[in-house]
Structure 1
């Protein structure tokens, strides 16, 4: 059995939509996708053509959630190393089934294809949607989704054994709904970025599916990943098998061991209100219990506090009723209660659906 960890060969058990291909045959399929396929198939075709050429690198683009999208050149061998790290962590075996339901224009979708090609998975491809499992009746060993897809797929998730969810934190509301649904799918949140070739750490979503003594707030790193914090309290990642250089992030974390950490929030988003540091992501996790619409909190200039905490809500909620719900939310500390609530017809988003906080905040007349 072919098990070389190289991008130059296809695993003999690799299947695309149920069919086995040689490299040359797969190139023909890729060209066909580009020429005659649907929009999502064109993206698949474009990436396969890049992957199957004689170059040792591919160019990918960041999502643009924390800045302007930018091109990044990745080594194919690093992508293979990432695929094997995921395969080892989740015990994926040749012949296991997988579903590609993410856009291949970004790294997460690309890596589902790479995992299939080098690990020998049988992968089906469907158009990205809020409930991609409706596009197929098959069952799968391994699937990757964004939180929107995860939330939209509850009625179908019994057909998935292992699911990784990334691209954005999974909200408190989604976790609660998942618990109520009593689903048995093993779901993991992931931590990573384009520069680390998707995830370098994962954590289980619910204790019901794993050992009860596992801390659900703690991410565990994959093999060959070293972590530290810098003088800002932000995560520093040393992963030589997937990245040429040490990566300094803007994610504030608390290290719980050499291999584990708690994610606190983005340094870019931290609010200093009256000398108290507020992590919007932590406040939002508490607010989610009473929120129906999409929302986020932010800090705006204030003469007395330096910054004051405000809540931005998408759509037109009943403000008075919402204020009452927030006031009665026992989990919020006094300084975590938003001083004002603003509404926006529609949030500004990246092409991958992530909220652009700063751009959205500019839409509000403060």
Structure 2
């Protein structure tokens, strides 16, 4: 068994149709930095960082769960993550892949590393909200955020396996994705776990972890991830409320930081949002405001101008989940991958 390290470039790796080794990639990196388009420059920077003498890469977290910060990620851990993804999704050397995520964040970096390590034939395009527009090629493996998947429904028939991450897939998008011949997976992960550590087919409720990852939960019922091959501290304690099916599978409910305590009743906003999916034809989320009687009251935050929302819309909710107030915000604040910054938007 060959021990694959971050210095390896698979002999079947191709970038935009060209077979490249380590020296070729460094030359391409320099040309991207000097005369590449805006989206190519970060790729050049990343490739030079990847092949330098340091054993780690510095990465920025997305900021959806706090202030964005720079963390150091071990290069060998990224290789191990790429191998686990290849194993889980059955990727083989020569498989065609599309890179359409910004390389600024971990998901975009990992698409490149998977291709280099697993020997994928990678096309890369400018990250945009319509990444497959005008593309005729067929692909074995593509990663997108939900907005990109939503805008690529017509073209996704040309994709064998699609992974969608970065933000929650809405119920309406999930229905559309389930009609496709494509195998579509929703992924679960974060920068600290070097992109996804678990995935589930759309339409299913239960996430299954990747090889060499096990899970448990703490006294708050929050997920604890054990992944010695990819996490320096070996475990990450999350703020994600879950129900464990076994040490390899879990159901995700929502983030503990979002939980609303209204008159002693605990409400998980993400679950209320799922019930309302498809009933309001705008982007929205559930939040809370201080309330003298209840401590916190449930509020519905809707993007755009004021509009009438029929009270029957809320018939699907339990009594205590009903919003006590509706707030309209012209434009939500969000991360680049489409996660709402709930508190920042409300402020």
CA–CA distance in 1 between the matches of 2:162 and 2:104? Answer: 20
- 2:210 is aligned, of 202, 216, 222, to 222
- Offset at 1:188? 0.3
In the alignment, structure 1 residue 356 sits paired with structure 2 residue 341: yes
Given the alignment, which residue of 255, 260, 278 partners 1:266? 255
| Cα distance in 2 for residues equivalent to 1:196 and 1:102 | 18
Task: Quote the Cα distance in structure 1 between the aligned partners of 2:136 and 2:2.
Answer: 30
Query: In structure 2, what is the equivalent of residue 313 of structure 1?
Result: 302
SS in 1 for 2:310: helix
C-alpha distance in 2, partners of 1:158/1:306?
Answer: 49
Cα distance in 1 for residues equivalent to 2:312 and 2:329: 20
**What does the per-residue CA deviation read over 1:195-221, in whole Å, with 9 as the maximum and x for residues that have no partner?**
000000000003xxxxxxxxx111001
Does the CA-based 8 Å contact 1:326-1:337 persist in structure 2? no
Deviating 4+ runs (over 6 angstroms): none
Residue 293 of structure 1 is matched in structure 2 by 282
- Whole-angstrom CA distance in 2 between matches of 1:124 and 1:135: 14
**For 1:336 and 1:172, how far apart are their aligned partners in 2?**
19
Aligned residues between the structures: 346
Deviations 1:295-318 (A, max 9, x none): 111011111111110000010252
Residues 144-223 of structure 1 aligned to structure 2 (within 5 Å) = 144-179=143-178, 182-206=179-203, 216-223=204-211
**Gapped regions of structure 1 (runs ≥ 5):** 207-215
Looking at structure 2, the residues matched to 55 and 68 of structure 1 have their Cα atoms a distance apart, in angstroms, of 26
Alpha-carbon offset, residue 173 of structure 1: 1.8
SS at match of 2:278: helix
Q: Tell me the distance in 2 between the aligned counterparts of 1:359 and 1:347.
A: 9
After TM superposition, give the deviation of residue 58 of structure 1 in Å. 0.6
Residue-by-residue CA offset, 1:8-38 (whole Å, 9 max, x unaligned): 1100000000101121111010111111111
Match of 2:328 in 1: 343
Displacement after TM superposition at 1:348 (Å): 1.4
Q: Structure 1 length as normaliser, TM-score?
A: 0.92
Residue 237 (structure 1) aligned to one of 212, 225, 236: 225
- 3-state SS, counterpart of residue 39 of structure 1: coil
Distance 2:147 2:336 in 1: 14
Residue ranges of structure 2 left out of the alignment (5+ in a row): none
SS of the residue corresponding to residue 57 of structure 2 reads strand
Q: Is the CA contact (8 Å cut-off) linking 2:213 and 2:225 kept in structure 1?
A: yes
1:232 to partner: Cα distance: 1.1
